[in-house]
Every structure is written in structure tokens, then in C-alpha cells.
Chains A and B, each alone.
Chain A
Amino acid sequence: MADIRLADASEVPPRPLRRHLLGVSDLGPGDLERILGTAATLSRSLEREVKKLPALRGRLVVNLFYESSTRTLSSFDLAAKRLSADTMSVRSSGSSVDKGESLKDTALTLAAYDPDVIVIRHPQIGAPQLVASVTAAHVVNAGDGKHQHPTQALLDLYTMREALGRLEGLHVAIVGDVLHSRVARSLIEALTLVGARTTLIGPPTLIPRGIEAMGCETTTDIAAVADADVIYVLRMQRERMLAGAAYVPSLREYSALWGITPERVRAGQVVMHPGPMNRGVEIDPRVADSDAALITTQVRAGLVVRMAVLYDLLTGGPVEVPQALEVA
């Protein structure tokens, strides 16, 4: 069986690279291609019996999570562990965060342990920028408010390329609550970067005014999904229906007009969802469980892409993927 040797961080010559991944705009096309390439190589390591690689041995990755998140936190945590880094998770409950400590002070406290990477999820936009400005660690944004979630966009691109063989020229329909979605914002930006076409479909109250400037088209007509290679379904949160919010009158009407049912998926299309799903609301269970759905593939992609991001930040990024990742 082929053995995979991943160059140790200390063996790779340092190379100027953006020190943080705060948003998709931190990535150029070259960075994106390199990270996806590294992820593809790393995915093979996960097929082995012993899945752990020594690449980031002795490095410390701190996960600073101000929002509950099972999937993203576990994905980053496992990604760091698979690369032999030490990890530490700090959550907003049961820590000084609840004692009214400012984000700056929490970041400075954690910085005293000299972490190599701080992965932060925060309900407020700009929190990762603040942490990046006060610590020497590489900062990875794991979701800030409605702003950005760049590793989600990377794992989605990775999934699309694995499933469809290309990204350039792909047509992706993003369906649902774009207004409140950091996933949508990151994905639109990433799709534009790789030359894919994006159409946003949803209730007019949940498509932000002026978003076409990001390089996408918008429509309220669900029939437009027929044109797409990928149907990307966003989570429809129940809070949006509360009195006072009233973005849509009812879940029932939302599902009828924008829910992804088997009738709305044509052969050859793939369906993606960042999770967690509301079965029966934005996505029909029959679609979620069909062969067209790539939802568990996305979760697996999340692991290898986050491994690739951590590796890339800490090694300065391999100049050429094959040089740093030798498959003997």
C-alpha cells in the first residue's frame, strides 16, 4: 500500500503568504487551487488504517467558539488532531467569556500560550479581524455573524469538483435565506473566483438588496433551479417567521414556493446543503436521502479541507503540492 509522507512543517521553506484566513477575499486563485490540491492529497491519508500524519506535531491550534457548533468545531478539532497538532477548545459557556471579558482580552489571554492557529467562530462580524490584530497567531474564521465562513466555501468547492470534475463554468443555484447566510456570502465570492456562475433564488425579503454586485444573478422563481448543475440549499431558520421578523408568512408557504422537492430536481443535478437541515422545510427528505444529495460528502470534505488550511497556514503553503507531499 502506498505510503504517504507529508513534509514536516520545519522542512518546508518559509514563503510569504497571507497569515490568516478571515474571508474568501484572503485567497487568490493560486491559493485556492493549492489548498484544494493539498486537500485531495490528504484525503488519501484518510483511507489508511492509521489516519494520523505527523505534519503539525508540536503545533497548537486553539478553537475559540462563541457560538454552539457541533459540526464545525468537531471538524476543525479532528483536522488538527489528524495532523498531530495539539488542540484546545474554548467555548463561550463555562469560561471567562461569560464573565463579561472582552474579546480582545480573551484573545490576549489565549495568545499568552503562543498558539500557532486560532480558529474563531463568533456571532459578530469583524471578530476574527480583531483577534488577528491583537495576536501573533494565524487566525482562521470559522464563521463570523452573517459575514464569512471561508472553510465552508472551500469544502463546497472541493465537493463540487470531486462530484462534477470541474468548477469553471459550473452553474450553481443557491436557494433560500441568503440575507442571513455567511455560507452564501463566502460561496458566492469563491464561485466568482473560480469562474463559476451563481444564481440566488429565494423570497425577495431574504435576498439582500444590491447583492448582484458580487457577480451573481437573483430571481424569486424556483423554476430557475432547472438551469443549474448544483442546487445549493440554505437552512431556513424558524426565527425568520417570528412576529416582528416576518420575512416570510409561514414555513408552509416557504416550503411550497422554495422547498427542494424531487419534482424540482432533474436528473444529473447534485444537491448540497451546509447543514444542519430542516427536513421538510427547505429540503424534502426524499431529496436529502437521494443519490443526488452530497450532504455527507460535504462533511467528509470539511475534514480534509480544514486539514489543508491548517497545513497551508503553518507551512507557508507548499510551492507545488507534489514537492511537499510525497506519495511514495
Chain B
Amino acid sequence: MLFCRSGDRDTLRIEGARVLDPTEGIDGPFDVTIEDGHIVRIAPAGASASGLVLAPAFVDPHVHLRTPGREDEETIASGTAAAAAGGYCAILAMPNTDPVVDSAAVLGALVELARAEALIPTGFMASISRGLRGEELTEMAELAGLGAAAFTDDGHPVVSAGLMQRALQYSAVAGRLLALHEEEPALSRDGQMHEGAVSAELGLAGWPSVAESIMIERDLALAAYEQRSLHIMHVSALESVAALRAAKARGVTVTAEVTPHHLCLTDDAVRSLDTNTKMNPPLRAEADRLALLEALRDGTICCVATDHAPHARHEKEAPFEEAPFGVTGLETAFSALYTMLVEPGELPLEVLLERMSAGPARAFGLPVPRIAEGEVANVVLLDLDARRQVSEGGFRSRSVNSWLLGKTLHGTVVKTVADGRVVFAA
């Protein structure tokens, strides 16, 4: 399900770091030896005063690589280089490209491209409906056979409850998860931001929380009826969290993801009319942000996903209502969450590391990165004491539409090892 270019695996030794793998239950100073891409030795070391932490590398289940169609915004090479710089060892790309990843031909071409230029293992989701039109199902079995990691119409909801039911039924044949962008278009309409006091003041059309939660409730009811699992993408609202909790309590198998920007920002940021605060789903109120954070802490939401959405500079340099939705995130996710949530004490570091790695890997049936002898090395070395200012010049992504431009972040990625190869070294 994951593809990248081949190459020799590396041999290296990481000394004196605090090794922190919540899945393996390791937390302490160790020297880690990697030979030919495998972790061969984890030996106790003396306590170190450095801020270096060695953790399982990250897995991002929600990335827009914009290929094919918008290679000016991102390519597989640039997107995976950005991911490597962000500490990721695996990413899943969305199918809302041009053409849409809805056929064996398009998926096959992407797999070949990934084998030629992906710096880190990359998976591709295929669409649920042909052309994302929400009318006919894609050939899910054939697509899964070619390596489709999951199915999604991301960017669009599956509007028809009937098609959603069929997709749930049929995806069993493909043996893949459905990942859902939840939005009732009759309620979100032409919404530009969260509906609330700030949208009332600014006059921007509101995209209410209930437009998300009502669709989540519908799809959870269908999943329960069909006894199938679901993954809910970029959850943004308090009501959605409540729906997830209630469904889990009823025994529905559902996983969910949340983005760094929904965990760190609220609709208050939109007052600036900065188009890098425009995303779908929109930034919501403080009560929503706190509910998402609580859900991430307690595991109701098990993944951090960047929803890395590169956009051309000239398209974001437009009046707010004209600008496209979305922001980049691969290269800033850990630093942003470390600075804005871990340092202030809102989120324990080990929970963040788990939700950025094992959580998403398990949700999508990908190999869980582990720091254990015998495992292929998928590790990230972090320097919690280092700081850097986010600037346009510092990105490996082809796009610079970051909500963090100008901000100083703590906790930088020093080195990333993916599939046994050093893919990033600061």
C-alpha cells in the first residue's frame, strides 16, 4: 500500500537522546544503533541534558500532493521532501486531483511515479465515487488490488445517503476503509468560515458546526447498520466529537483525525482576513477547539492529520472570499503542536507522539513505527530546545500557504529515518 523509490538503507548510531516510544513503553536515555536500515541495538546510556528526543517517525493520513494536475503547487518529490522534513515516515495522498484517482490507469501511473520520486513511503487513496461526482462507485476491488490505501471523496462529502450505504457495503470486497469528509452542503452552502459571532461581525457566510455533525451522525448510523468501520477526516466541531463518543459507546468502530490548525486556532484568527486562515472545515470557536483537544487526549480522536493543502501563491493572494480553502502543514505540524499545546501543558508529549504515529498507522492498517530491536528504522530525532522562525524560504513544499508564517516555533526535526533510510537531516 506504500510506495517509494528504492535505495540503500543506512547505518547510523543515535547517541544520548531520550528515546520515547509510547507504543513500546520506552522512555529514557538510550543509544540506538541502526544497521542497514534496521534497529539492531538499543543500549542504556547515561542521562543527557540535551533536548534531543528520538521517537517513532510520524504518519500523516491526509496529504494533498496535487499530482496529477497541479504540479505547480506540489509534486510527489516536493511533497515527500516536505514530509521528511516534518518527521514523517509515511503519508497518504488524497485523490481529488485532476484527473481524479478513480481508475486503475491514474492510480497505476501514480504508483509508478512514487516508485521513481517519493522520498518516503507514500500511499494513495482512491475516490469513492467516479470523478468525485457522488453518483457511481469506483471499481474498488481493482483499485485496492493496485494498492489503493483507502477510499475517500475528500474535498466533497458523499451527499447521497444511498450511495454511502452502497459504498459501505461494497468496500468490504476491497477490504479498505472509507475515509469521509463530512459536510451537509444544504447547510454549509457557500460558507466561508465558522458560523458564529465572528462570521456575524465580518459578514462572511457561515458554515455551521451542525453541517458537519449531522453528516457524521448519518454515516455513523449507516456504518452501525452495515457493521462496517469508518474513518472521519478533519473533525472540527464539538457536536462532532459528541457524535463520535456516542457511536463508540454503542460499539461502532470509528477512527477520526484532527488537524494542527483546528487544535491551535479559532475563528478569531479569521478577523485578520488572512487567506491562510481559510480552510475547510473552517476554524471554529474556542469550545470546539477544547473539545477536539480533549478528544485527542482521550483517544476519541486517534490521529493528527495535517490536511496539507498546497495552493499557488497567486490564488491565495486574493480577497478572502475568492481564495481557495486550505493550508500547508507537513513541515510545521510537530513544531506547532509542541509549541502551542505541549509546552503550555495542554497535551502530554507522549500522547502527541502516539497520535502522530501509531494512531494513524493503526487506523489505516499501515505498519506501526516502533523503536524496537529488529524493526525497520522509522524514527524521528527531535530537538525540543531548538527554535526557528517559519518563513517562506524555509519550505521544501512548492507552496507557502502556511498559517504559521512569521511565527517562532520550538521543537524542531533534526533527522528523519524512513524505511531505514535517512531522508532528512537538518
Q: Which residue of B lies closest to A213 (CB)?
A: B197
Complex Cα–Cα for A124 and B204 (A): 9
| Contact segment of B4-12, B313-321, B414-422 | B313-321
B322 — which chain A residues lie within 8 A by C-beta? 124
Decide yes or no: A126 and B317 within 8 Å by CB, A145-B203, A213-B201 being known contacts.
Answer: no
Stretch in A74-82, A204-212, A292-300 touching the partner = A204-212
Contacting pair A210 B319 (CB below 8 A): no
Most chain B CB neighbours (cut-off 10 Å) among A103, A124, A181: A124
Given contacts A125-B273, A209-B206, contact A130 B319 (CB under 8 A): yes
Residues on the B chain within 8 Å of A182, using CB? 203
- Whether A103 contacts B200 by the Cβ 8 Å rule is no
Q: Which residues of the partner chain B approach A210 to less than 8 Å between Cβ atoms?
A: 195-200
**Which of B196, B275, B319 meets A209, CB within 8 Å?**
B196
Q: Which of B319-348 contact A (CB under 8 A)?
A: 319-322
What is the CA–CA distance of A182 and B201 in the complex, to the nearest angstrom?
A: 10
Structural contact, B200 and A124, CB atoms closer than 8 A = no
Contact B317 A130, beta carbon cutoff 8 Å: yes
**B206 engages A126 (CB within 8 Å):** no
A125 touches B197 (CB 8 A): no
Is B318 a contact partner of A104 (Cβ separation < 8 A)?
yes
Interface status of B386 (Cβ within 8 A of chain A): no
* A34 interfacial contact with B, CB 8 Å: no
Give the shortest distance, in Å, between B228 (CB) and chain A (any CB): 34
- Choose from B203, B273, B314, B320 the contact partner of A185 (Cβ within 8 Å): B203
Instruction: Tell me if A214 and B201 are in contact (CB < 8 A).
Output: yes
Contact between A129 and B273, CB atoms less than 8 A apart: yes
Partner of A146, one of B197, B203, B275: B203
> In whole angstroms, what is the CA distance A146 to B202 when docked?
7
B318-A147 in contact (CB<8A):
no
The answer for the CA separation of A173 and B205 in the assembled complex, in Å, is 24
The distance in angstroms between the C-alpha atoms of A102 and B204, with both chains bound, is: 21
CB-CB under 8 A from A125, the residues of chain B are 192, 202-204, 273, 319-321
CA distance A211 to B198 in the complex (A): 8
**Does A305 lie at the interface of the complex (its beta carbon under 8 Å from any beta carbon of B)?**
no
A122 engages B200 (CB within 8 Å): no
Chain A residue with Cβ nearest B202: A147
- Pick the contact of A122: B192, B195, B319 (CB < 8 A): B319
Q: Would you give the shortest CB distance from A213 to chain B, in whole angstroms?
A: 4
A148 to B196 CA separation, bound complex (whole angstroms): 17
Q: Is the Cβ of B195 less than 8 Å from the Cβ of A126? A: no
Knowing A102-B314, A125-B273, A129-B273, the reply to whether A209 touches B200 (Cβ < 8 A) is yes
Which parts of B189-237 form the interface with A (CB within 8 Å)? Answer: 192, 195-206, 208
Interface of chain B, helix or strand or loop or mixed?
A: loop
A314 at the interface (CB under 8 A from B): no
Tell me, rounded to whole Å, the shortest Cβ–Cβ distance linking A199 to chain B: 15
Closest-CB distance, B95 to chain A (whole angstroms): 29
Question: What B residues does A181 contact at CB under 8 A?
Answer: 203
Residues of A within 8 A of B319 (CB): 103, 122, 124-127, 129-130, 144-145
Q: Which residues does chain B contribute within 8 Å of A213, judged by CB atoms?
A: 197, 200-201
| Nearest-Cβ distance from residue B147 to partner chain A, whole angstroms | 40
When distances are taken between beta carbons in the complex, the residues of chain A under 8 Å from B314 are: 102, 104
B273 and A126 contacting across the interface, CB-CB below 8 Å: yes
Per-residue interface assignment for chain A, residues 59 to 76, with 1 indicating a CB less than 8 Å from any chain B CB and 0 otherwise: 000000000000000000
Given A208-B206, A209-B195, A210-B196; A124-B321 close (CB under 8 Å): yes
With contact pairs A124-B320, A124-B321, A130-B317 given, residues A147 and B200 touching in the complex (Cβ less than 8 Å):
no
The minimal Cβ–Cβ distance linking B401 to chain A, given in whole angstroms, is 15
A147 to B192 Cα, complex, angstroms: 13
**Minimum CB distance partner of A134 in chain B:** B317
B196 contacts which chain A residues (CB < 8 A)? Answer: 209-210
In the bound complex, residues from chain A placing their C-beta under 8 Å from that of B192 are: 125
A182, B200: Cα distance in complex, Å: 11
Residues of B within 8 Å of A180, CB to CB, are: 203
Q: Which of B195, B203, B322 has the most CB of A within 10 A?
A: B203
Which B123-156 residues have a C-beta within 8 angstroms of A? none
Residues in A whose Cβ lies below 8 Å from that of B204:
125, 145-147
Task: Write the nearest CB–CB distance from A126 to chain B, whole angstroms.
Answer: 4
Nearest CB to that of A184 among chain B residues? B203
One digit per residue, 1 when the CB lies within 8 angstroms of any chain A CB and 0 when it does not, for chain B 404-426 equals 00000000000000000000000
CB distance from A222 to the nearest CB of B (A): 21
Give Cα distance in the complex from A209 to B198, angstroms.
10
Q: Per-residue CB proximity of A120-153 to B under 8 Å, as 1/0? A: 0010111101100000000000001111100000
- Distance of A129 Cα from B320 Cα, bound (Å): 10
| A208 CA / B201 CA spacing, docked (Å) | 9
- Compute how far the CA of A126 lies from the CA of B320 in the bound complex, rounded to whole angstroms: 5
Q: A188 to chain B: closest CB distance in Å?
A: 9
Question: Which residues of A lie under 8 Å from residue B205 when comparing CB positions?
Answer: 146
Q: Note all chain B residues with C-beta closer than 8 A to A211.
A: 197, 200-201
Q: Which residues of B have CB within 8 Å of A208?
A: 199-200, 206
Q: Which of chain A's residues has its CB closest to B278's CB?
A: A126
B208 closest partner in A (C-beta): A209
Q: How far apart sit A102 and B208, CA to CA, in the bound complex (Å)?
A: 30
Taking a contact as CB atoms under 8 Å apart, the answer to whether B317 and A185 are in contact is no
Q: What is the CA–CA distance of A37 and B124 in the complex, to the nearest angstrom?
A: 65
Picked from A103, A144, A209, A214, the residue with its CB within 8 Å of the CB of B318 is A103
B318 cross-chain contacts in A, Cβ below 8 A: 102-104, 130
In the complex, which residue of chain B has the Cβ closest to the Cβ of A129?
B273
Inter-chain CA distance A134–B192, complex, in Å, is: 23
CB-CB under 8 A from A126, the residues of chain B are 273, 275, 319-321
| C-alpha gap A182/B321 in the complex (Å) | 15
List chain A residues, Cβ under 8 A from B321.
Answer: 124-126, 145
Bound: A213/B319 CA distance, A:
25
User: A184-206 CB contact bits vs B (8 Å, 1 = yes)?
Assistant: 01000000000000000000000
Residue of B nearest to A22 (CB): B273
Q: How long is the Cα–Cα vector from A34 to B197 in the complex, in angstroms?
A: 30
Question: Within 8 Å CB of B208, what residues of A?
Answer: 209
Q: How far is the CA of A179 from the CA of B208 in the complex (A)?
A: 15
> Can you show 21 pairs from A to B with CB atoms below 8 A apart?
A102-B317, A102-B318, A103-B318, A103-B319, A104-B314, A122-B319, A125-B203, A126-B320, A126-B321, A129-B319, A145-B203, A145-B204, A145-B321, A146-B203, A209-B195, A209-B200, A209-B206, A210-B198, A213-B197, A213-B201, A214-B200
Closest 8 CB pairs of A and B: A146-B203, A126-B320, A213-B197, A210-B197, A124-B319, A208-B200, A211-B200, A126-B273
Given contacts A125-B321, A146-B204, 14 further A-B contacts (CB under 8 A): A125-B202, A126-B273, A126-B319, A126-B320, A129-B273, A181-B203, A185-B202, A209-B195, A210-B195, A210-B198, A211-B197, A213-B197, A213-B200, A214-B197
